[in-house]
Structure 1
Amino acid sequence: MFIVLAVTLVLYLLWRWYLNGILCGLKSLRGPASYPFIGSLMTCYPVSTLMTRLGDMCNIYGKTYKMTIPWTAGIVTIDLDLVEYILTSQATINKSILYIFLKEWLGDGLLLSKSAKWRLRRKTITPTFHFKVLDQFVQVFNKNNQILVQQLQKSIDKQDGAGVVNIAHYVTLAAMDNIVETAMGTSMNSQLNDQSDYVWATKFMTANIYDHIVNPITYLKATYIFTPAYWKERKALKILKEYTMSLIKSRREALSKENKSTLINNNADVETYINDEDFGIKKKTAFLDLLLQTTIDGKPLSDEDIMEEVDTFMFEGHDTVSAAISFTLFCIAQHPDIQSKVIEEQRSIFANEPDRNITSEDLKNMTFLEMVIKEGLRFYPSVPSIARNVSEDFHYKDIHVRKGTTIAIPILTIHKDPSNFPNPEKFIPERFLPAEQSKRHAFAFLPFSAGHRNCIGQRFAMMEMKATISKVCRHFELGMTNPPHECILPSAVVLMSKNGVNLTIKTRKW
C-alpha cells in the first residue's frame, strides 16, 4: 500500500511540474477548475455537450482561456487574430497530441506528419490534386449519384408520392463509393451492399477516435486492452489495412505490366500522365495510381507510404463530405425559399434535361448552390474543432505560450459568434457573396481549416458536394418531417447527427 501511495505521489508531482511549466506563462488567463491527474476533464462530461460547452466557456472565461487534460495543458481560443497566428505560424504547424489516436490507422500520412516530413509530403502530393485529375472524377460522381437517386426513389410511397428518409444514411454510402473509386480506382458498391466489412471498419474507426480522447482508460494499452473497443479496433484496422495494401500491390503489378514509366514530380508530369492515350482520361486516374508514380528525390513512395496517404484521403474525404452534404440538404429542406433559388439556378443550367450527367463547367456555374453549401458548413462544420501543438515558445499580447502547449480552436463556436456572423442562427447564403466575405476577418470561416495545413482536398470536396446536392435537388422536392426532425449532435471528430438527418422527399416535377 505504501509503495502504491509513493508511486502515486511521484506521478502527481511530475504531472504538476510538467503542467506548471506550461501554465506559468498563462497566468493572465482564466479557465475551468483543474483536478489531480484528470485536469479539467470533468468539463468534457457528458461528452455529448462538449462542443456547445466550449462555446459557453468562451462567454464565461473570455475568447481565450486555459484548461488542462490528463496528458497536457493548453488554451482554447476563438480570438481570430490569435487563430490566424496559430494557423499560419511555423511554431504551431504540428497537429496536437490529441490526434495520436489516429496514428495506428493513418501512420505518418499528410494529416499527422510533422514539420519537415509534412512539408515534403505536402509538396509531393499537391500535384496529384491537379484540376485535370479532379475534373475526371465528375464521371465517378455521376455514376454513384445516379444510384443514390435510385435508392432514394425506393423510399417514396407510390400512393402519395412522398417518403421520409434518413438522408445521412444514403449520402454516407454514396460518399463511400465516391471516395473509394476516386482514391483507389475500384468500385465498392456500398450503396448496394451496406453490410461491407470495409464500410463498417471505416465507420467504427471514425466514431471511436473521440471516445479515446475523453476516456482515460484508453490512453494506455495496458488498460485499453481490457475494453471491448480495443478488440473491435484491432479487427477494424486489420480490415482497412489489408484491403488498402492488397489494392496497392495489385495496382503496382498492373502498372508494371502496362509498362507505365512516367514519374510524377510536378503539375506538368501529372498532365503528361493523365493524357497518356493508352491510360489517362479514358480509364480514369485514381489517386492511388498517381501516388504509385510519385517520387521523392527520384525515389518512388513505398507501399507503406502510399497506404498512409490513401487511408488519410479515405478518412478525411468520407465522413466529412457526407456530413456536409446531409446537413446542407437538411438546411435546404428547412428553407423553401432557398430551395426555390437553388432549383432556379439548376434550371438555368440544365434547361429541359434534368437527368443529364453533370459536367465540370456545370459545377462552376453553381454559384448560389456554393453559397448554400458554405452557409451549411457554417451551421454544421464537418470538423467542429481542431488542435495544434506548440513546437517553440511564442508571445501573444500578455500571454507566453510555452513549447508543448496544446491549442484548441472550436470552429463551431467561431462560426456561431455574432461578432463574425450577425444573426448567426439565421440561414443566409448571401453571407458568402464576395462583397460580404470581404468585410469579414479572413479566419472567421474555417470549414477546411486555413493557413499552412488547410485541407488539400477542399476543391475535390466542393465538387462532390455540388454534384451530389444538385442531383438530389433536381430529382426530389425536400421538406421537413412532422413534427420537424431535430438533429442530436454529439461531440466527435467529425460532426454527425446521432439520430440521423430525417427529411421528406417527393418526386420533383421539372
Structure 2
Amino acid sequence: MLFLPPMQSFYLQWINQIGFNWTTWFVLTSILIIGWVCWRNSRYVRLINTVPGPEGLPILGNLLELNVGQVEFLRIVHREWVEKHGPIYRGWGGSRAIVCISSPELMEPILASQKLITKGKEYSYLSKWLGACMFLTTGQRWRSRRRLLTPAFHFQILENFFDVFNDQSHQLIKELETAADSCPKVDGSVNVYKILTQCALDIICDSSMGRQVRKREETAGYLHSINRITQIVMERSLRPWLDSDLMFNLSSLGRENRQCVQILHDFTNQVIRDRKKTLNVNNNQTDSGDQIKSQPENSPKRRLAFLDLLIQASENGDKLSDDDIREEVDTFMFAGHDTTATAMSWFLYCIARNPDEQKLLFDEVDEIFEDDERPCTPQDAANLKYLDCCIKETLRMYPSIPGVMRTITEDTEIGGYVLPAGLSVALLIYGMHRNPKVYPEPDVFKPERFLPEHSANRHPYAFLPFSAGPRNCIGQKYAIFELKVVLSWVLRKFEFSLSDPCCPAVSASSEIVLKPVDGIHLTVKPRKPRSIAA
C-alpha cells in the first residue's frame, strides 16, 4: 500500500471501510432477527398469544389500527373488540402486550387481590405531575399512605362538608341563570360542562383544601393544564417511541407536558401556602396542630380535614415532606373535581335526553323539599332514592374513569389463561358497563336497573365507577354526597332539554377521565314552583 498512488490508496481505504460497515450491519441485523425470533418464541409471548385478539403486523402489532382519535379508540377497544374477541382479549403495541378484560367475573380475581395492586406502567407518565402519591405508588408506601388518609373521609367528617356543597350550589345556580339569560338566541343552549367544572373545582378547594377560589382567571390555566396533560398521557401511550423518558422529554409533547406540570404545581403550592398561613403552621406547627384537634366537630377548621391532616403529618418531616403533601394535594385536586364535573355533566345530558325520567326526579325533589329553600342535609341525601338510581345509571353509561391498568406481578390464571408476570392488564370499565351480556340494552338510560329488586342478584363487580377491592376510590362517599347535594339543588331550580332532540349523541373521549368531546350543550330553563305548575 505504501507504493500505491495517493488516490488509489484513498479508494482502497474507502472500500475496506465500506466492507467493514456492511459486515457490521449484517451482524447487527442477524442479532436483531435472532433476538426477535427468540422473543417471539419465549414463554412470555407464547402465554399471551394463547389469549384471543386482533391480528397484528410484525413488530408494529396493532398500532396502526389504534392510530385513531380518542372517540374511535373508545369504540374499538371497549366495544368492537369486546364483541368480536370476547370478555378477555390481547393486543400488541409494538413489543408491549396488553390484555383487556370486560366481564365482572374475570375482573374480580385482580380487583379483589391483596397482591395484584401494582398500577400499570402507563400511570408512570403522570409521575412528573403527581410524583409518588398514593394513587401511583404500591406496596408498603401505598398501604401506609392509605391508612394515613382514610380518616379524612370518615362519614362524620364528610357530613361537615354539606355546608360547602350547599353554598357552592347557590353559586352554581347563579352561574346557570346568568348563562341561560345570556346564551345565543339561535338554539338557546348552555355549555353546562364548563360551568360544572368550575363549580367542582371550587368545592374541592373550599371543602378539602381550605381555600375558596373566587377569581376565575386564577383557575383558567389550571383547568386547561389538567385537560391537556391527561390528553398527553393518552397520546404518549399510543406512541411506543415516546415510552422512554429521554425521547419524550426531547419531543414537543414533552415540552408541553413540562409547562403544564409547572402551572399545576404553582397552583397547588399556593393552595398549601394559604392553608398553612391560615393555621399559623409556619410559626408554630405543634400549637396549630393541637388547635386543629381541639376544634368542635362542626367548626370550619375541623371540617377541613384532608389538607389539615397532611399538614399535621408533616410536622418535623417525620411522615410527609412538603413534596409529599403537594403530591397528594395534586391528586385530590385532580380526582376531586374532574371526575365529579364530568359525572354531573353526563347526568344532566342523560335526563335532558330522557324527559320522563327527569319528571320523576322533579317529583322526588319536590316531595322532599316542598319548594323550600332549605339546605340539603345528609338525611335528605339518603332519602333521594330515585336520584341515587339516576346517578348510578349515569355512571354506568359514562363512568368517570373508563378503565384502569394493573401490572401482573406474578403468574395469574384468569378465564383459563395464564397471564405471565410483568404483563399489563386493562380493566375495561366502560366496556363492561356497555356489555349487553352484563346489562341488557346497555345504550338505554334505565335508572330502574339500580332499584334493590333489580340489582340484588347482580355480580358485585358489575358496577365499577369507583373501582373495587383494596384499591377502590378512597373519596367515593365524598363524591356521591357532592353529586346528590349539587344535583338536588339544580333539579329544584331548572329543567333541561336538548336544543335539537334529533341530534346525534354526544361523543365521549377516552382519556384518563371520560369527557364529552365538545362539552355538554343543553337548553336550561327555570322551573316553575310546584304549586304554579300544578
Name the counterpart of 2:435: 417
Q: Distance in 1 between matches of 2:218 and 2:273?
A: 26
Residue 94 of structure 1 pairs with residue 118 of structure 2: yes
Task: Tell me, yes or no, if the aligned pair for 1:274 and 1:280 is still in contact at 8 Å.
Answer: no
Closer/same/farther in 2, CA of residues 30 and 140 from structure 1, 3 Å limit = same
Moved more, 275-284 or 86-95: 275-284
Name the counterpart of 2:69: 47
Residue 346 of structure 1 pairs with residue 372 of structure 2: no
Q: Distance in 2 between matches of 1:8 and 1:324?
A: 52
Closer/same/farther in 2, CA of residues 359 and 408 from structure 1, 3 Å limit = same
Tell me the alpha carbon deviations over residues 183-229 of structure 1, each in whole angstroms, 9 at most, x when there is no partner: 32112236x44763222222222232211211334323443345433
Residue 122 of structure 1 pairs with residue 146 of structure 2: yes
Q: Distance in 2 between matches of 1:278 and 1:466?
A: 22
Q: Which amino acid aligns with 1:182?
A: S
Indicate which of 382, 385, 393 corresponds to 1:364: 382
Indicate which of 12, 34, 38 corresponds to 2:60: 38
Pairwise CA RMSD: 2.9
> Displacement, 1:5?
7.5
Task: Tell me, yes or no, if the aligned pair for 1:91 and 1:390 is still in contact at 8 Å.
Answer: no
Query: In the TM superposition, what are the counterparts of 1:46-125 in structure 2 within 5 Å?
Result: 46-48=68-70, 49-54=72-77, 55-70=79-94, 72-125=96-149
Task: Tell me, yes or no, if the aligned pair for 2:295 and 2:301 is still in contact at 8 Å.
Answer: no
Q: Distance in 2 between matches of 1:5 and 1:461?
A: 60
Indicate which of 255, 262, 272 corresponds to 2:281: 255
Q: Distance in 1 between matches of 2:157 and 2:353?
A: 35
Indicate which of 163, 178, 185 corresponds to 2:210: 185
Moved more, 444-453 or 274-283: 274-283
Q: Which amino acid aligns with 2:338?
A: D
Q: What SS does the corresponding residue of 1:490 show, helix, strand or coil?
A: strand
Closer/same/farther in 2, CA of residues 401 and 158 from structure 1, 3 Å limit = closer
| Structure-2-length-normalised TM-score | 0.86
Indicate which of 402, 416, 430 corresponds to 1:384: 402
> Displacement, 1:37?
4.0
Q: What SS does the corresponding residue of 1:487 show, helix, strand or coil?
A: coil
Name the counterpart of 1:267: none
> Displacement, 1:256?
5.0
Q: What SS does the corresponding residue of 1:496 show, helix, strand or coil?
A: strand
Name the counterpart of 1:196: 220
Q: What SS does the corresponding residue of 1:486 show, helix, strand or coil?
A: coil
Moved more, 280-289 or 164-173: 280-289
> Displacement, 1:486?
2.6
Name the counterpart of 2:495: 477
Moved more, 8-17 or 206-215: 8-17
Q: What SS does the corresponding residue of 1:388 show, helix, strand or coil?
A: strand
Q: What SS does the corresponding residue of 2:136 show, helix, strand or coil?
A: coil
Task: Tell me, yes or no, if the aligned pair for 1:22 and 1:73 is still in contact at 8 Å.
Answer: no
Residue 171 of structure 1 pairs with residue 196 of structure 2: yes
Q: Which amino acid aligns with 1:255?
A: V
Q: Distance in 2 between matches of 1:301 and 1:195?
A: 27
> Displacement, 1:102?
0.9
Q: Which amino acid aligns with 2:124?
A: I
Tell me the alpha carbon deviations over residues 346-371 of structure 1, each in whole angstroms, 9 at most, x when there is no partner: 11221131x33322222222121011
Name the counterpart of 2:462: 444
> Displacement, 1:60?
1.7
Task: Tell me, yes or no, if the aligned pair for 2:281 and 2:288 is still in contact at 8 Å.
Answer: no
Q: Distance in 2 between matches of 1:226 and 1:383?
A: 30
**% of aligned pairs identical?**
32
Closer/same/farther in 2, CA of residues 276 and 78 from structure 1, 3 Å limit = same
> Displacement, 1:286?
4.5
Task: Tell me, yes or no, if the aligned pair for 1:144 and 1:174 is still in contact at 8 Å.
Answer: yes
Q: Distance in 1 between matches of 2:221 and 2:525?
A: 32
Q: Distance in 2 between matches of 1:282 and 1:246?
A: 18
Q: Which amino acid aligns with 2:76?
A: R
Query: In the TM superposition, what are the counterparts of 1:138-177 in structure 2 within 5 Å?
Result: 138-157=162-181, 163-177=188-202
> Displacement, 1:56?
1.3
Moved more, 282-291 or 299-308: 282-291
Name the counterpart of 2:444: 426
Tell me the alpha carbon deviations over residues 135-160 of structure 1, each in whole angstroms, 9 at most, x when there is no partner: 22222222222222111112334899
Give 5+ residue unaligned stretches, structure 2. Answer: 1-20, 530-534
Indicate which of 237, 247, 258 corresponds to 1:234: 258
Residue 407 of structure 1 pairs with residue 425 of structure 2: yes
> Displacement, 1:469?
1.4
Q: Distance in 2 between matches of 1:362 and 1:167?
A: 25
Residue 285 of structure 1 pairs with residue 304 of structure 2: yes
Q: Distance in 1 between matches of 2:124 and 2:237?
A: 9
Closer/same/farther in 2, CA of residues 17 and 285 from structure 1, 3 Å limit = farther
Task: Tell me, yes or no, if the aligned pair for 2:295 and 2:302 is still in contact at 8 Å.
Answer: no
Query: In the TM superposition, what are the counterparts of 1:262-277 in structure 2 within 5 Å?
Result: 273=292, 276-277=295-296
Q: Which amino acid aligns with 2:200?
A: A
Task: Tell me, yes or no, if the aligned pair for 1:488 and 1:497 is still in contact at 8 Å.
Answer: yes
